Amino acid sequence: MTDNFKKENEIVAGKFNKLKEILKSMGSVLIAFSGGVDSSFLLKTADDVLKEKVLAVTAKSSTFPEREIKKAIEIAQILKVRHLVIESNEMKNPDYLKNDLNRCYYCKTELFEDLKKIALNEGLNFVLDGQNYDDIGDYRPGMRAAAEIGVRSPLKESCLTKNDIRRLSKKLGLPNWDSPSLACLSSRIPYGTEIDKGLLARIDFLENFLLDLGFTQVRVRHHDKIARIEIPEEEMNKFNARDIRMRIINEFKNQGYLYITLDLEGYKTGSMNKVLKEN
C-alpha cells in the first residue's frame, strides 16, 4: 500500500466517522430513501448507529421509474429496516408541470413537507436526504427546499463525495454500491416543455427497452420529435452494431420520435443543465 493510498483511506475514514458522529447526535431520523447509492449508504449507516430509531420513506409517482421503486423496496428488505412507500403529488401541482427552472424546488418542497409530517407523527427528530458533497457543484433547486424546510444532508455535511460513498458502500457489502446514478424522469425533459404522464411513461418505457438490450446506464432526453440517447462511452460500440441500432430505431419511431440521436459525449449527469451554464 502506497503512502498516498494510505492517506486517502485515512481521509475517507475520517469523513465516515464524522458522518456517524452526526447521526448519533441526531438521536432518531427519517431518511428520504430513493434506493440509490447515496441514500442506501446513508440508511445503512444510520441503521448501524441508531438501530430501530430509523425510518426509510420512498415517494412513488409517475416521475420516478417503477424499476427504481422495486429496487428501493429490495434494498430496504436486505437491510431489514422500517420502510414506508408513499404517493407523492407533484403531478397535481401546475407549477411543477409547467417545468420551469424551479421544477425541482416545487417537487422537493412538497415531498419534504410530507416527510416532516410523518417524522413528527413518528416522533423522529430529523428528516435527512442523500445529497453528497459533489452535489454542491450542480444546479439543484431542491437544495433550497431542503434548507427552507430544515432537512439535513449529513453526507454533504461530512464532505463525502460519490466516490467516497461507493468505496465505503462496497466495504459495507451493499449490493448496489456500483449502481448507476438515479434521477427523476422529468430531468429528461428540457425546461419549458410541459410535463405530462404520457411523456414520462414513454421515456420510462424506452429506457427500460435500452436496459433490456444490455446497456448499463441510459438516459432518453426528450427534444420534441428528437430523442437524444445517452449511454456510457465504453458501450457505444455495442450501440453501433447494426442489429441493435435497427431495433432501437424501430422502437423509438414506434413511440413517436422522428429522429433518434446518440450523444457522442456519452452519459453525463445533469446534462439538461448545460443550457443554464451557457446563458
User: Reduced to 3 states, what is the DSSP secondary structure of residue 58?
Assistant: strand
Helices (H) and strands (E) in the chain, counts: 12, 7
Sequential DSSP letters for 197-258: HHHHHHHHHHHHHHHHTT-SS-EEEEETTEEEEE--GGGHHHHHSHHHHHHHHHHHHHTT-S
In 46-196, DSSP assigns E strands to 54-60, 82-87, 126-128
pTM for this entry: 0.89
DSSP-derived pairing of the beta strands 54-60 and 82-87: parallel
CA distances from 210 to 51, 128, 175, 218, 244 (A): 39, 33, 22, 7, 10
Domain boundaries, given as residue ranges, for the chain? 3-172, 185-278
pLDDT at 277 over 80: no
pLDDT at 57 over 90: yes
pLDDT digits (tens, 9 = 90+) for 64-109: 888 899 999 999 999 999 999 999 989 999 999 999 999 999 999 9
Query: Residue 253 corresponds to which amino acid?
Result: K
Angle of CA points 245, 246, 252, to nearest 5°: 90
- Give dist(CA 268, CA 196) in Å, integer: 24
> What is the mean pLDDT of the segment spanning 149-170?
96
What is the model's pLDDT at position 53?
97
Torsion from C-alpha of 103, 104, 106, 112, nearest 10 degrees: 170
CATH number of the 185-278 domain: 3.30.70.2210
Q: Mean pLDDT across the chain, nearest whole number? A: 92
Please, which residues bridge with residue 84 across strands?
57
Higher pLDDT, residue 143 or 96: 96
Tell me if the domain spanning 3-172 has CATH number 2.30.30.60. no
pLDDT over 90 at 180, yes or no = no
Lowest mean pLDDT among 114-128, 129-143, 192-206, 260-274: 260-274
Q: What would the grid cell of residue 8 be? A: 486517502
Comparing CA positions, the residue from 146, 148, 171 lying closest to residue 156 is 146
C-alpha cell, 67: 424499476
